[in-house]
Structure 1
Amino acid sequence: MSPRKAAVLRGDDRSLREHLIATAERMLAEHGTAGLTVRAIAREAGVADGVLYNHFADKEELLAHALRAHVRAVERELGTLPEPGSGDLAANLRAYIRYGTALHRAIFPALAGALASPGLLASFTRADGSGDDWRDRLVHYLRAERDLGRLAPDARVEAAAEMIVGVCHETVLTLLIHGASREHHPEQVSAQRTDDLVTAVLNGIAPR
């Protein structure tokens, strides 16, 4: 006989572990990780405090999975990225830059509190080893374009990816330094700044 399902999950296809992750993900998406306690998560999930430790080593592990789930949810809302060999190369890079800045902007409220918790960040890094986050997809995309001959055969694609990722990280750092006011938090990177970055990545800055 299969074990009896927890009352809070009756009529729900999810496991209790999935329910706890979903609950924590919703809470950190709304309020961030700062001050998010085991008791608050358990109360919101409708379970006893100690239940969390039946499924996770500690609060950091639960929040790491919740943060990863939040990132995945944001990525689904952002849609698909260009495939190697399709369309115009410069236009594809602009799409990757827009996607990356939108992703970082969306996850910043949830991520900000995590920066003060090295344990949470370490657990977050370990939570998903699929190599399928936005940065990894960007590197794989550039490598594929190089293999297809649409980039120079000796193109330093990892360095190019770091330049693009750096722009997105700069957005987060600006928010940390200046606060999350709209004055320092534009809706998107300007078209001119995006074009300048794409030109620098594709053409370099040395004289020809």
Structure 2
Amino acid sequence: MSPRKAAALRAGDRSLREHLIVTAERMISERGTAGLTVRAIAREAGVADGVLYNHFADKEELLAHALWARVEAVGRTLPPLPEPGDATVEANLRVYVEHGLILHNGFLPALAGLLAHPEVLARFAALSGGGEDWRDRLARYLRAERDLGRLAPGARVEAATSMIVGVCHEAVLSVLLQGEGLARRTSPEAVDDLVATVLDGIAPR
């Protein structure tokens, strides 16, 4: 191992491949992916530019792994999602909304710089293995609560899921489209209003 590689790994015992992924993930969390170059990642990692190609086929593969690492890093900060039948549906939905807002705020800004790079997004999607994501968990939770009788028998859970997901997207995308940084924090009152609207609707009784 060259002195430069050794210096890059001095702080821990992870492999150079892992070090490069961690470095790229940290850079994504701090500045997004726009303009993120191989040279910038290599300099930050403390290695020569060509070292990246010893461990990844190209920059797109590294970025896909870094994005996945970002998802996992954000996920580790989140509390567990409630199970059907626990507490109240209202309280549980509040947790799901807050979970989704944190997840989107932590991850969507990283995707903004990759909209013109579908190959990175395709490789990122492949890393997930098609597993159940937050949206799937939310829809499954609402269906289970309907089956338990804690929601109306005819409750349109897919529409309710789309409403909640849309609010989480909007909190981030509306800011990104204005050329700003991270999303503004959604107030607890706004979360309460969303949950109440999902559960009660807006038509007169």
Range of TM-score over shorter length: 0.7 to 0.9
Residues 171 and 116 of structure 1: is their aligned pair in 2 closer, same or farther, counting only changes over 3 Å? farther
TM-score relative to the length of structure 2: 0.82
The answer to whether the 8 A contact 1:147-1:153 is kept is yes
Tell me, yes or no, if the aligned pair for 1:101 and 1:189 is still in contact at 8 Å.
no
1:180 Cα deviation from its structure 2 partner: 2.4
For residues 25 and 181 of structure 1, what CA distance do their matches in structure 2 show?
17
Partner of 2:195: 198
**1:91 Cα deviation after fit:** 1.1
Is the partner of 1:116 in helix, strand or coil?
coil
**Seq. identity, %:** 67
What is the deviation of 1:206? 4.7
In the alignment, the residues of structure 1 paired with residue 117 and residue 181 of structure 2 have an alpha-carbon distance, to the nearest angstrom, of: 24
| Structure 2 gaps, min length 5 | none
Q: Which residue is equivalent to 1:35?
A: 35
* Alpha-carbon distance in structure 2 between the residues aligned to 1:161 and 1:143: 10
- 2:90 & 2:155 partners in 1: Cα distance? 15
Which amino acid in structure 2 is aligned with residue 95 of structure 1?
Answer: V
Residue 109 of structure 1: how far off its partner (Å): 3.6
CA 1:145–1:56 in structure 2 vs 1: closer, same or farther (change >3 Å)?
Answer: farther
Structure 1, unmatched stretches of 5+, are 1-5
Say if 2:97 and 2:164, in contact at 8 Å, map to a contact too. Answer: yes
Alignment of 1:1-208 (within 5 A): 7=6, 8-9=8-9, 12-180=12-180, 185-191=183-189, 193-206=190-203, 208=205
Q: 1:205: how far off? A: 4.1
Query: What is the root-mean-square deviation in Å for CA atoms of aligned residues?
Result: 2.7
Return closer, same or farther for 1:36/1:197 CA change in 2, 3 Å cut-off: same
Equivalent residues, number: 201
Query: Which one-letter code corresponds to 2:196 in the other structure?
Result: T
Structure 1 residues 105, 150: CA separation in 2 closer, same or farther (over 3 Å shift)?
Answer: same
Structure 1 residue 150: Cα displacement? 2.3
